[in-house]
Amino acid sequence: MRGILLAGGTGSRLNRLTRITNKHLLPVYDRSMVEWSVEAMVAAGIDELLIVTGGERVGDFMRMLGDGSSYGLEGLSYAVQENAGGIAEALGLGERFAKGGPIVVMLADNIFEHTFRPTIEAFRANPQGCRLVLSKMDDPTHLSHLGVPEMDEDGRIVRIIEKPEVPPSHFAVTGVYCYASEVFDVVKTLEPSARGELEITDVNNHFIGAGHVAYDVQPGFWGDAGESIPAYQEVGEFVARNGANKP
């Protein structure tokens, strides 16, 4: 199964740190943010990877990562997202790379204490619809800034709500998504949201509505290093003490 790593965006939530660089090139402890996500994909069993980023920074990623061989990749490709059209738009750029097969998508500012390899292996065995990685969180204030699944009494996801005022569960949807090949057809049906972007939550809710969704609850720490300056600092401090992508 191939992987798509999304490393675009303006990084406005980390301004001023991102005035002259892409946020995914910022350091998290002893290496760049994007290197942690590449290593996470490799640890999960992905050896063919596409990185999608903005055109003005693609050369910086190439200088940082090269051909990916030093990270254990068999192949590393790059694609350019010309405008900030949303996560789902960036995903759509990977259709030719996927070659008609299932894919795993990761937002490159996500840091995990433990590998999400069990999720990838479960989806590889049954590559239908989508499979999500959730993280249990107890702080409702934090959850109100994230995508949160609403679940029925049997624990099935009914829908995902972005930034809910009252979170319907104690779980956050992390930035790792496994998709069957038809995800690219779904992306083509999306309409831009109020902020003018194609939203990944709309993709996930499509599969939920079709009854083709599964999920795993990720053990240990998960952090979105691009969420805010305090979150970026928290993630860096955690990784310095505990590491990341562990078995």
**Residue range 82-91: mean pLDDT, rounded:** 92
CA distance 64 to 68: 9
Partner residues linked to 31 by β-bridges:
28
The answer, yes or no, to whether residue 97 has pLDDT greater than 90, is yes
Dihedrals φ, ψ of 145, to 5°? Answer: -105, 5
* Summary mean pLDDT of the chain: 96
Dihedrals φ, ψ of 39, to 5°? Answer: -65, -35
CATH number of the structural domain 2-242: 3.90.550.10
Percent of the chain residues topping a pLDDT of 90: 94
**Residue range 100-116: mean pLDDT, rounded:** 98
**Residue range 26-47: mean pLDDT, rounded:** 98
Res. 10 pLDDT band, cuts 50 70 90: confident
Res. 56 pLDDT band, cuts 50 70 90: confident
Dihedrals φ, ψ of 104, to 5°? Answer: -115, 135
**Residue range 60-80: mean pLDDT, rounded:** 96
DSSP string covering the chain: -EEEEE--S--GGGTTTTSSS-GGGSEETTEEHHHHHHHHHHHTT--EEEEEE-TTTHHHHHHHHTTSGGGT-SEEEEEE--S---HHHHHHTTHHHHTTS-EEEEETTEEESB--HHHHHHHHHS--SEEEEEEE---HHHHTTSEEEEE-TTS-EEEEEES-SS-SSSEEEEEEEEE-TTHHHHHHT----TTSS--HHHHHHHHHHTT-EEEEEPPS-EEETTS-HHHHHHHHHHHHHH-SSB-
Q: Which of 11-15, 105-109, 120-124, 187-191 shows the lowest mean pLDDT across its residues?
A: 11-15
Q: Indicate the domain borders of the chain.
A: 2-242
For residue range 157-211, list pLDDT tens digits in order. Answer: 999 999 999 999 999 999 999 999 999 999 999 999 998 999 999 999 999 999 9
The answer, yes or no, to whether residue 223 has pLDDT greater than 90, is yes
**Residue range 123-137: mean pLDDT, rounded:** 97
Helix-helix angle 33-43:58-65, to 10 degrees = 60
The answer, yes or no, to whether residue 55 has pLDDT greater than 90, is no
Instruction: Tell me the pTM.
Output: 0.96
The answer, yes or no, to whether residue 14 has pLDDT greater than 90, is yes
